[in-house]
Amino acid sequence: MIHGGAGALANVDDDKTAVRYLDSIHRILEYGREVLELGSSALQAVETCASLLEDDPIFNAGCGSVLNEFGKVEMDAAIMDGRDLAAGAVAAVESIANPIQLARFVMTESEHVMLISEGAMHFADHCGIKRTPIDYFYTPERLAQFNEARANKKIMLDHDDTQAGSEDQKYGTIGAVARDLKGNLAAATSTGGIVNKRMGRVGDSPIVGAGVYADNETCAVSATGYGEDFMRSVFAKTISDFIYMKGMDAESATQAGIEYLQRKIKGRGGAIVVDKQGRCAKGFTTKKMIHGWIEHGGKSMVGF
Ligand code: GLY
């Protein structure tokens, strides 16, 4: 399963834009299928799919990342292996084309779970990951979005509680969850965060248990939405706990997680989930969520 963000997504009412999103989701899903059918691990599949989503500028991650209050890109990402709960994460990184790949290096090549900002980029140099020129991240759409916000003095207003996280906002994040032929689970989440966020703000995406979680005994989860809500509700782990504690399947655990998010804090966003039996589920409190899935090797399904 993969997702490309949640929100009001008014732009997908335009057929051309909708087709552009769905084509990309479909292409990346099919790529993920091939990776898994060739016998690669769930971990490899989620890293590959997340990297492809990061490479497509229509999604808010990697090269399509939104800009912060100073017009800069600061990206967060995390990856988790359900076999042993190994995890790697990076936060507030720039000049890295695929933060999800750096997150995997943190998991495999360091003794830590999360590295941030300059330290993470120093570690990228150490791992041989090349810095990407900053121009790569400044897509015309993101610059226009930022300039419009500046012209309307929305930068400050967007930090106001009543406006931050309004339903009009697209909570862009990308994510992937997978179960491989051996029954192993993995999850990956990556994002540019929220438009006009304060410099140094870190969302849920790189936080294990909030925006990402994977445990072979339960499920793999990737969330998308207003990060602060998912951090406060420990959203991804909550869904996993419904399976671990109550023996639910992916569908009922996801709905229980969404109900908890909504009831406790009116949380905004959603998640994709695959459980240990390979059952897929999705849930969201926003109007839409861009997503797609292939269950038990069947036909690929895409939608909002
Ligand atoms: N869910 C993405 C973020 O809040 O940064």
* Cα distances (Å, whole numbers) of residue 7 to 16, 154, 168, 286: 18, 19, 7, 5
Residue 51's region, left for phi above 0, alpha for psi from -120 to 50, else beta, is alpha
φ and ψ of 295, to 5 deg: -105, 130
Distance CA 212, CA 223 (A): 6
- pLDDT tens across 194-252, in order? 888 999 999 999 999 999 999 999 999 999 999 999 999 999 999 999 999 999 999 99
Mean pLDDT of 25-51: 98
pTM of the model: 0.94
182 Cα to the center of ligand 1, angstroms: 31
Mean pLDDT of 68-85: 97
**Which of ligand 1's atoms lies nearest the C-alpha of 223?**
1
Is 173 a catalytic site residue? yes
What is residue 189's three-state secondary structure? strand
Q: Which amino acid is located at 292 in the chain?
A: G
What pLDDT score was predicted for residue 143? 83
Q: pLDDT at residue 49 above 60?
A: yes
Number of domains, the chain: 1
> pLDDT averaged over the chain?
92
Q: Is the CB–ligand 1 distance for residue 206 below 6 Å?
A: no
Q: Which amino acid is located at 255 in the chain?
A: Q
Q: 7: which strand partners?
A: 170, 288
265 Cα to the center of ligand 1, angstroms: 16
| Chain Cα centroid distance, residue 29 | 15
Task: Identify the domain containing residue 285 by its residue range.
Answer: 2-303
What pLDDT score was predicted for residue 292? 98
- CATH number of the domain that residue 293 is part of: 3.60.20.30
